[in-house]
Amino acid sequence: MEKAQAYIRIQELKDIINEANRRYYVENSPVLSDYEFDMLLKELEALEKEHPELRTDDSPTQKVGSDLKTSPAKVSGKEFEQFPHRYPMLSLGNSYDITEVQAFADRASKGIGNAFTYSCELKFDGTAICLTYRNGKLVRALTRGDGTIGDDVTANVRNISNIPQELKTPAGFFPTLLQPKPWPEEFEIRGEIYMPWPAFDRLNEQRIKDEEAPFANPRNAASGSLKLIDSRMVAERGLECTLYHILGEDLPFQTHDQALKAAQSWGLPVSDKRKICKTIEEIEDFINHWDSERKTLLFATDGIVIKINELPYQEELGYTAKFPRWAVAYKFKAEQALTRLLSIDYQVGRTGAVTPVANLEPVQLSGTVVKRASLHNADQMQQLDIHIGDYVYVEKGGEIIPKITAVELSKRGTDVVLPHFPETCPDCGTKLIRDDREAKSFCPNQISCPTQIKGRLVHFLSRKAMNVIAGDATVDQLYNKALVWNVADFYELTKEHLLTLEGWKERSAERFLKSLDESRKVPFERVLYALGIRYVGETTAKSLAKHFGSIDSLAKASIEELLATDDIGQVIAESVYDFLREDSNIDTIERLKAAGLKFEADAAQQKLSGKLDGKTIVISGNFSVSRDEIKSLIIAHGGKSSGSISSKTTYLLAGEKPGPEKIRKAESLGVERIDEQKFREMIEI
């Protein structure tokens, strides 16, 4: 590939991979399968190898994915503190073919020059954790973060039942002057926190009852649970941990296997599903065994990790910028199941999108029984050449509903029927329109399509929007009685209206009306999200609310002004612009204003100036006001408040008793340090 073409493709790949990393590690909502992600990364590696002058230090090939947000995870004024890792917390190179494992073994053999063995272990599909024990007691737990700095989740980890707070003395140990305790005075042990299938299923059942989106997979559920602000809730999530790597000074072990056996004797959770192998044939047998047997496990596993067992050889082989040279991961292909397609439903969403969903003969897949699978759109149905009655392969990717990946043509009978994507809305009969940017078909009848109306009503009441105590059944009752068609109708309901509904009593009516009244206190950003503007999720609504400050300012904004907002692209800008110029939406907003809903940001949320535009500020220490007020001021004047110092940090705003680690990091990176007085001078209007 020519250099100019390579440069363009490298930039494209970086953008795709960085966004996929953010969605996977930070938002816990993956957009690519592991295999798709790894193939893109391999393509980027190959291009950078061909054109080394185009490789940069910030390339995804040179760093691990990060679970750190731009600012620390924050809810209700609380946040996770961040600390540096004593030893870098790297990732693993992935392979999908035994020949790649053989290549790893050949490189290791060439580098070592002596006989050695391999430790083969299950790769748990969870979220990485680093535990520090001092004098036999757990003192800190950090997430991987960006590999250099991690979030301190110690309080949450203390609520995971199989992680000991204090180590136990193994039977038969006799203390001596040289070894008073069976464990080192201080050490780190790393592993994976995961959510077993039964706990995952229970959690999703509850989330569906609470009208929350279910987690896509156990890995996302584990990661999201580990970052809960209320550590008491972590104990209810059923998380478990498996540990697999010990680090420390002068550890008394010669092999990785010895270290894990010692950790197990101290009461630490170490997997018993591992094996010491001497040859590539033994490794392949271990891989094949667990590729089949993983279907019987009560937790998700996505591969096998192969490590050089001898610790001196690990040290000799060392590390790349991103991976240890002494370990590699063999990734299983996504688990598939073959089953028969019985029929296809065409579902209309609240935004009018029509999605085909396949009804299947029930089949076991990744610990659950699958009866339905997504077909996404008409294009995919055509590409698959799918027929009703076909036998199809189903996978669980990064999606809540499993997806159909292929048709087994050898099993196609003569009685199959070619499905036809509807030309009209299956609910209201309106002719569908096609959005080529998404390859989706939409029903444009937002005013009177029953499914869209009810979908918008349910969305408006949902917990993350107006948080009104109601669900699908309540909306159905109100809609069928013609009491509510528009979200503004909710605020005109009376107790007399509600008592006409089947099953409603005085108390339930009063609870519902009280909940509606409480929703008038919901902040502007959530009211904006509740309106149900296509493509405007929670994060986008926050960005728009912060940038414009009120619905009136937002309604006056041009496409260009909308595009100037953080995280807003062309598609979202056009959607917001069109929504706020539709007469029926303008009327709804006016009625909601009259009902007392908040359509202006609180003073602390409004942008006061652009004096800090483009500046990232880390705060540390105590100030004349709360840290939250300082952060609000930074944001109000256009800046970004971050929890960790990096090369992108503009200032360290240091109050009284600032953290010494942050001061050292700022000095090492040449980040300017300012005090509160200097900060206030900078933002004076």
Buried b (16+ CB within 10 A) or exposed e, 31-61: bbbbeebbebbeebbebbeebeeebeeebbb
Confidence of residue 399 (pLDDT cuts 50, 70, 90): very low
Lowest mean pLDDT among 308-312, 319-323, 399-403, 667-671: 399-403
Phi and psi, residue 407, nearest 5° = -110, 135
Return all residues near 420 (Cβ < 8 A) that are at least 6 apart.
none
19-33, 74-88, 487-501: which is most confident: 487-501
CATH, domain 616-683, list 3.40.250.10, 2.60.120.10, 3.40.50.10190, 3.40.920.10: 3.40.50.10190
The number of residues in the chain equals 685
Predicted confidence (pLDDT) per residue in 539-592, tens digit: 788 888 888 889 999 999 999 888 877 668 788 899 999 999 999 999 999 999
Mean pLDDT of the region 519-535: 92
- The Cα 120–Cα 291 span in angstroms is 13
Beta bridge partners of 329: 94, 305
Class at the top of the CATH hierarchy for domain 83-331: alpha beta
Eight-state DSSP code of residue 487: G
Give the active site residue among 42, 63, 123, 521. 123
CATH architecture of the domain 524-594 equals Orthogonal Bundle (1.10)
123 is catalytic: yes
- Separation in Å, CA 468 to CA 231, 323, 350, 596: 25, 48, 18, 15
Eight-state DSSP code of residue 144: -
Phi-psi bin for 481: left (phi > 0), alpha (psi -120 to 50), beta?
Answer: alpha
Mean pLDDT of the region 446-470: 91
- Looking at the domain 3-62, which fold is it? Helix Hairpins (1.10.287)
Mean pLDDT of the chain: 86
Q: In the prediction, which pLDDT does 210 show? A: 54
Helix (H) or strand (E) holding 369: strand 368-374
Confidence of residue 365 (pLDDT cuts 50, 70, 90): confident
Predicted confidence (pLDDT) per residue in 270-329, tens digit: 999 999 999 999 999 999 999 888 878 888 888 999 999 999 999 999 988 778 999 999
- The Cα 53–Cα 387 span in angstroms is 50
Q: Do domains 450-521 and 524-594 have the same CATH topology?
A: yes
Predicted confidence (pLDDT) per residue in 593-612, tens digit: 999 999 998 755 556 788 88
Mean pLDDT of the region 96-120: 92
Regarding predicted confidence, which is higher, 202 or 652? Answer: 652
Domain boundaries, the chain: 3-62, 83-331, 336-429, 450-521, 524-594, 616-683
Share of the chain above pLDDT 90, in %: 48
DSSP-derived pairing of the beta strands 433-435 and 353-365: unpaired
Angle at 628 between CA 627 and CA 634, to 5 degrees: 90
- The Cα 451–Cα 442 span in angstroms is 12
Return all residues near 347 (Cβ < 8 A) that are at least 6 apart.
354, 355, 356, 357
Closest residue by Cα to residue 580 from 589, 572, 592:
589
- 10 Å CB burial of residue 585 (0-12, 13-18, 19+) is middle
Lowest mean pLDDT among 20-29, 35-44, 368-377, 510-519: 20-29
Confidence of residue 45 (pLDDT cuts 50, 70, 90): confident
Say if residues 327 and 92 touch (Cβ distance below 8 Å). yes
Predicted confidence (pLDDT) per residue in 187-243, tens digit: 999 999 999 988 888 887 777 655 456 677 788 889 888 888 777 778 888 899 999
Closest residue by Cα to residue 236 from 348, 304, 156:
156
Confidence of residue 366 (pLDDT cuts 50, 70, 90): low
Eight-state DSSP code of residue 215: P
Lowest mean pLDDT among 234-238, 258-262, 512-516: 234-238
- For the domain spanning 336-429, the CATH number is 2.40.50.140
Q: In the prediction, which pLDDT does 370 show? A: 86
Say if residues 308 and 106 touch (Cβ distance below 8 Å). no
- The Cα 468–Cα 61 span in angstroms is 46
Predicted confidence (pLDDT) per residue in 607-641, tens digit: 678 888 888 888 888 888 777 678 778 877 878 77
Alpha helices, H only, 136-255: 154-157, 197-209, 218-226, 231-234
- CB count within 10 Å of CB 173 equals 14
Say if residues 653 and 679 touch (Cβ distance below 8 Å). yes
Return all residues near 409 (Cβ < 8 A) that are at least 6 apart.
none
Say if residues 332 and 302 touch (Cβ distance below 8 Å). yes
Instruction: Check whether 473 has a pLDDT greater than 50.
Output: yes
Return all residues near 76 (Cβ < 8 A) that are at least 6 apart.
229
Confidence of residue 398 (pLDDT cuts 50, 70, 90): very low
- CB count within 10 Å of CB 479 equals 17
Closest residue by Cα to residue 613 from 658, 673, 546, 540:
546
Q: In the prediction, which pLDDT does 487 show? A: 96
Q: Which two tokens stand for residue 447?
A: 């005013």
First to last CA, the chain: 53
- The Cα 487–Cα 505 span in angstroms is 23
- The Cα 568–Cα 382 span in angstroms is 32
Q: In the prediction, which pLDDT does 73 show? A: 40
Say if residues 609 and 637 touch (Cβ distance below 8 Å). yes
- For the domain spanning 450-521, the CATH number is 1.10.150.20
Say if residues 234 and 226 touch (Cβ distance below 8 Å). yes
Instruction: Check whether 25 has a pLDDT greater than 70.
Output: no
Cα atoms in the Cβ-side hemisphere of radius 13 Å centred on 293:
9
Regarding predicted confidence, which is higher, 34 or 648? Answer: 648
Mean pLDDT of the region 34-59: 80
Regarding predicted confidence, which is higher, 537 or 394? Answer: 394
